[in-house]
Structure 1
Amino acid sequence: MKWFGDSRFQNYSLQALQKDMMSGLIVGIVAIPLGMGFAIASGVKPEYGLYTTIIAGILISLFGGSKFQIGGPTGAFIPILFAIVMQYGYEDLLIAGFMAGVMLFLMGLFKLGGVIKFIPRPVTIGFTTGIAVTIFCGQIANFLGLRGLEKTENFFSSMKQIVLHFSTINPLSILTAIICLVILIIIPKWFPKVPASLIGLLVSTIVALLFYPGKVQTIGSTYGAISNSLPSLHIPELSIEHLQTLIKPAFTIAMLGGIESLMSAVVADGMTGTRHNSNRELMGQGIANMVTPLFGGIPATGAIARTATNIKSGAVSPISGVVHGIVVLLVLMLFAPYASMIPLASMAPVLMLVAWNMSERKEFAHMLKTRTADSIVLVITCVLTIFADLTIAVEMGLLLSAILFVKHMSSLLVTKKVLPDPSDINARVSANMVGEHRNCPQISIYTVDGALFFGVARMFEQAIMDEINYKPKVLILKMDNVLYMDTTGESNFASLVKHFKKHGGIIIISEIQDQPREVLRKTGLDNLIGADRFFDNTGDAIQYALTKLNRAQCAGCKQFAFRECTALSGCAEAESIHEPKRNHIRSRKQEFPGINK
């Protein structure tokens, strides 16, 4: 596969490099506080977030499928990573991250990039909102400066800890957090190009150091000094036991990473008018997540906010993402000791604002207002994300969505008995033409509308079987509105065909679509029906059916379902029915030219 020399670097110039350098610098500055904040919220040391920003950021830009994607640790991962750290420990988090990288790479290799996009919107909005609530509530303790809390992965337990330790509230922590929060709100309005999170951290940290040093918890007092260099290469110890134990959390990381990265790439496409390569993006994400844990980094994915900032800052190519990683590396090497002085209360509003922005609150409220089945999926997914975990939430959301989809599609399958309408110049078939005194006893024509899949296959078979219990000689199925047939649908369709043929009946298929026809061809059912009994036009199908009638049974019949019934029955009563269109109809083929429209 070509990684370089592709369209992402076409017509690259010195001017483009200058734009990438500037946008990379801006995004790198924005990414520093976020990288540390996401790591802290995930239950690991802040420098691990910076390692991830540097290594994963560079690799995702180089090997991903988007020109503008900025990769690194994101807020969406916080609840998952925190739960893994609490349950398995940091070392096993690295192994789970590596395993997730392998999964992501394989997803891209086997071209599953498009599949991830089919996750229903209520599910993605539900778990995104749930994650946002979890992040926001998880920062309440740091905002208030509470002490002595036990770390727990359960939402109820975490809230209980806040209540139990509320008496340890620190007014100076609240003041520090408010200073940072005010700056985070004001700066984007007055100076939209200035990195508000960095300014907020700097100002609130300086205020704390000058006016009440040592009175609030800092990164240094909680996690120790931040190293100013990258860790050496460390190969985690993989074993069968590790693989078995961590397969579920690794899969959760991979799925969320895939969804988040592709969502970010789609946002970038919308902002720039470009198109990303989904499968290559997954492979790039996989490579980054396989390499990053080897240097102590946590799982990474595409970051929507940083990618948007990259585009708004004038990025031209993936070089901006590489520059962003180098900027973070330089800051780490030069200013790491000073980062230890940042109060945890200053980090809290940064993460709270991230949670607020990622909450999809408007989309959530809009879906709730619809009061449809999707609203139920949305709420259940969100609640389970908060009170259980993301894996259970997504599984239940997908299961409910699938059940609702099958139920909805089942209601859309319609079979109607029809006959040609003599008052229509094109003699289109219509269900209104069938009645007690107009219903051919030898030929039954049915239109089939809807997909023939496992959810409706049995219902389709039974509906037709109930209708043809009087066993007509010929059954015509007009299938122009059947766009899809699965193997279950084919099986029930075959059962109908065999039952009808067993009693000497003839089945004719008209206007069948390509996909169902291909299924019948592969299973050999088209041979059982007869290759000469498939017609592109329902008028031709009726003409063929009329040649298979029992003429003796037609004698004296007064149903007059077709124009030819007058002559076949030997009765003149049908003249008044068909006479108005005599001058328009010259042959059976002329009678049905628009029947498939």
Structure 2
Amino acid sequence: MGWGRFQGYGMSSLRKDLVSGTIVGVIAIPLGMAFAIASGVKPEYGIYTTIVAGILISLFGGSRFQIGGPTGAFIPILFAIGAQYGYENLLIAGMMAGIMLVLMGALRLGVLIQFIPKPVTIGFTAGIAVIIFTGQIASFLGLKGIQRHEKFVDNMREIGIHISTMNPYSILTAAVCLAIVLLALRFAPRVPGSLIGLIAASIIAALFFSGKVATIGSAYGDIPSTLPSFHFPVITWERIRLLIRPAFLIAMLGAIESLLSAVVADGMSGSRHDSNRELIGQGIANIAAPLLGGIPATGAIARTAANIKSGAVSPLSGVIHSVVVFLILLLFAPYASSIPLAAMSPILMVVAWNMSERRAFLHLLKTRTGDSLVLLITFLLTVFADLTMAVEVGLVLAVILFVKRMGEAHLVSKVLPDPESVKVGPHMVSKEHDCPQIGIYNVEGPLFFGAAYRFENTMPGAGPDQPRVVLLRMGKVPFMDTTGESNLAGLVKHLESSGGKLLISSLQPQPLELLRKTGLYERIGAARFYDHTGEAINEALRTVSREQCIGCRHSAFRECAALSGYEEAQNLLGFKARSKPEIAR
């Protein structure tokens, strides 16, 4: 459970945790109910989730300040799962997601979540924000006869059809709550504006136009003042098979959201979270919450930030926040039934606005790069299709874009020594200045399947005019996969068939290890691998055809003057290579 997080804990720390836990608990109540209603379930299920998941995430998670509970990011997913499979199956999917999260943490996969590209996360987060915001328009306006659908377009059509049923009392109730929430955010950010707005709007509606706006009680019935009894859903293999995909989506989104919240908490507090333990804590919470009717939960960024700002010292503040919610449930549940639905909608609209990542979205869009395309497609698919497809397509596009970029980063260029700079460079190679017998190539960037075509197209082909010795300078190749190794093996085979040979200089550890594993290292020969390019050039010059050098006017190397001169032709058989050229690695 990480008792080290309580080291040095005393009464002063307890007082701070009591204050912060109470503040966050008060903030969590309206959010829990609002998220549950928007997810298509009864409001009390959001309260149950806040209580059960909040305690377990704080106790077993890997972040000292993480506050767990229902969040806005889950709304479209949970509503779609509930509408398609039913509430009982939604609970099972949540439990399955919890098991997946525990396994991810136990297998130490927490770090892998960080590899999801930013355009994908921003795209689907912005898409979820649009769905949440537009999903509250009907309640804000008090429209009657509205039926909620899974698809964004269908919901917008529903609003258009029933727009004539606007209720001015609902609009006024919602406007009061919205004004208070916005004023609190602007002038008193530590004040729980959502709760104050909810209470004020409820009082105004009850005093001045009672019965003219829909309430939680009229829509969902009275909220019970106790936790529900323990219930283990009926789990069958057929249900598991049916729910594996939505459960995986819940697990992935829960992992992303919780670890992102933990990172935010680290930045605000200067602490460091344990990503794998955080996943295990999230998993335990999501296994337990459905047993008491709770919906899937994850780390809540806004409540976690409020927890830190309120002076939290340890995970105990998260436990206290859940206890506060439970006490308020016991004492004030009957009054919650009188809360107008119109007063809940502005709270979710503000949540959607804050989670929209609008600045990051516009910034990425303005770059007009491949990332902009991934962002836009992920966003549009989230809104107009579904989150599962959006994430899958976004990740595939991001991978394709990455492979393309890495392929473009791979460069192969033919080079020759520059006597003035004592280095090699492509600027020294021309039709009039090139060695017919030795080909030296700079290979830069990863040699993998996405770059194999560049390597293959640049290497010399078959024919009498091709060099008999090829030297590859591979000091800037950090990685090679089996496709790159296959290309290299093809070059070796071609050179062997024409009586030539391959020399390699400055090979990095990973490519060297791969060549050893595949046997290509032994095939090329250990003697043909060099630490320095100069040593490899000396060896290449020792193996050239002296007869072919006679009369050559290319002068690619400084030794060429002696090799090509007629007067020295008689001494060629006794030629010894000169001192090693001072060529950079």
TM-score normalised according to structure 1 size = 0.93
Q: In the TM superposition, what is the alpha-carbon distance from 1:176 to its structure 2 partner?
A: 0.4
In structure 2, do the counterparts of structure 1 residues 412 and 469 end up closer, same or farther at CA, with 3 Å as the change threshold?
Answer: farther
Change (3 A) 1:468 1:534: farther
Q: Aligned-pair distance for 1:192?
A: 2.2
Q: CA offsets per residue over residues 530-554 of structure 1, 9 Å max, x none?
A: 1122222111221222222233333
Query: In the alignment, what sits opposite 1:545?
Result: 540
Shift of 1:331: 1.1
- The more displaced of 336-345 and 107-116 is 107-116
| Partner of residue 118 from structure 1, selected from 115, 118, 121 | 115
Look up the SS of the partner of 1:164 in the other structure: helix
TM-fit CA distance, 1:410? 2.0
1:387 maps to 2:387: no
**Which residue type is aligned with residue 514 of structure 1?**
P
Q: Which residue of 1 aligns with 2:579?
A: 587
2:287 corresponds, among 274, 287, 290, to 290
Q: Does the C-alpha gap of structure 1 residues 9 and 497 become closer, same or farther in structure 2, counting only changes over 3 Å?
A: farther
**CA deviation after TM superposition for structure 1 residue 571, in Å:** 5.8
Question: Is the 8 Å Cα contact of residues 190 and 306 (structure 2) preserved in structure 1?
Answer: no
Q: 2-side partners of 1:95 and 1:488: how far apart?
A: 43
Which residue of 226, 230, 238 corresponds with 1:229?
226
Asked whether 1:348 is paired with 2:345, we answer yes
Q: Structure 2 counterpart of 1:450, which letter?
A: G
* Aligned mates of 1:406, 1:228 — CA distance in 2: 56
CA pair 443-54 structure 1, distance change in 2 beyond 3 A? same
Give the gaps of 5 or more residues in structure 1.
Answer: 574-585
How many Å apart are 1:467 and its aligned residue? 8.8
User: 1:201 Cα deviation (Å)?
Assistant: 0.5
1:457 aligns with 2:452: yes
Give the AA of the match of 2:323.
I
AA aligned opposite 1:440 = C
Partner letter of residue 541 of structure 2?
Answer: L
- The one-letter code sitting in structure 1 at the alignment partner of 2:333 is A
Question: Which shifted more, 386-395 or 508-517?
Answer: 508-517
Mapping for residues 384-463 of structure 1, pairs under 5 Å: 384-424=381-421, 427-463=422-458
CA distance in 1, matches of 2:326, 2:210: 28
Q: Is 1:565 matched with 2:547?
A: no
1:373 has 2:370 as partner: yes
Cα shift readout 1:463-519 (whole Å, capped 9, x = no counterpart):
214498733221111112212212222222222222222322211111122222222
- 2:487 is aligned to 492
Equivalent position SS for 1:165: helix
Matched AA of 2:3:
G
How much does 1:153 deviate? 1.1
Q: Quick one: which of 242, 246, 258 aligns to 1:245?
A: 242
Task: Find the partner of 1:18 among 8, 15, 37.
Answer: 15
1:141-290 counterparts in 2 under 5 A? 141-290=138-287
Contact between 1:558 and 1:571, CA under 8 Å: does it hold in 2? no
1:178, distance to aligned residue in structure 2 (A): 0.3
- Provide the rounded CA distance (Å) in 2 between the counterparts of 1:497 and 1:56: 61
Q: Letter of the aligned partner of 1:103 in structure 2?
A: M
Distance in 2 of aligned mates of 1:469 and 1:185: 79
CA distance in 2, matches of 1:467, 1:71: 65
**1:320 aligns with one of 306, 317, 321:** 317
CA–CA distance in 2 between the matches of 1:316 and 1:524? 57
Correspondence 1:121-140 to 2 at 5 A = 121-140=118-137
Q: CA RMSD in A?
A: 1.7
Say whether the 8 Å CA contact 2:56–2:285 is kept in structure 1. yes
Aligned equivalents of 1:502 and 1:300: distance in 2?
64
Structure 2, unaligned runs of 5 or more: 569-577
Match of 1:429, SS state, is: strand
Q: Distance in 2 between matches of 1:76 and 1:184?
A: 20
Q: Check 1:118–1:453 CA distance in 2 against 1; reply closer, same or farther (3 A cut).
A: same
Give, in whole Å, the separation in 2 of the partners of 1:385 and 1:401: 16
Identical counterparts, % of pairs: 63
Distance 1:513 1:40, change over 3 A: same
The alignment status of 1:516 with 2:511, answered yes or no, reads: yes
Partner Cα distance (2:346, 2:532) in 1 = 67
Conserved? CA contact 1:566–1:572, under 8 Å: no
Distance 1:517 1:347 in 2: 62
Aligned to 1:200, the other structure's residue is in SS state: helix
The alpha-carbon deviation at position 572 of structure 1 amounts to 8.7
Q: CA deviation at 1:151?
A: 2.3
Quick one: distance in 2 between partners of 1:508 and 1:413? Answer: 20
Instruction: Show CA shifts across 1:288-344 (max 9, x none).
Output: 111111111000111111111111111122111111111111111111111111100
Distance 1:537 1:180 in 2: 73
Query: Any conservation in 2 of the 1:120–1:401 contact (CA below 8 Å)?
Result: yes
1:74-102: CA deviations, max 9, x gaps?
Answer: 00000000011111111000000011111
Relative distance call for 1:147 and 1:466 in structure 2 (3 A) is same
CA distance in structure 2 between the partners assigned to 1:48 and 1:532 by the alignment: 71
2:530 maps to 1:535: yes
Rounded to whole Å, the distance in 1 between the matches of 2:460 and 2:10 is: 70
Q: Which residue of 1 aligns with 2:572?
A: none
Deviation at 1:69, TM superposition (A): 1.1
Runs of 4+ in 1 over 6 A off after TM superposition: none
Match of 2:50 among 18, 29, 53: 53
The alignment partner of 1:117 has SS state of: helix
1:220-275 alpha-carbon deviations (Å, 9 max, x no partner): 11011111111122111111110111111111111111111111111112212222
Q: 1:543 & 1:292 partners in 2: Cα distance?
A: 72
Q: CA deviation at 1:219?
A: 0.6
Aligned equivalents of 1:496, 1:63: Cα separation in 2: 56
Is the CA contact 1:471–1:505 (under 8 Å) kept in the aligned structure 2?
Answer: no
Distance 1:18 1:508 in 2: 71
CA distance in 2, matches of 1:255, 1:403: 21
Pairing partner for 2:72 from 60, 69, 75: 75
* 1:140 CA drift (Å): 0.6
> 2: distance between equivalents of 1:34 and 1:498?
67
User: Which position in structure 2 is the counterpart of 1:581?
Assistant: none
The match for 2:299 is 302
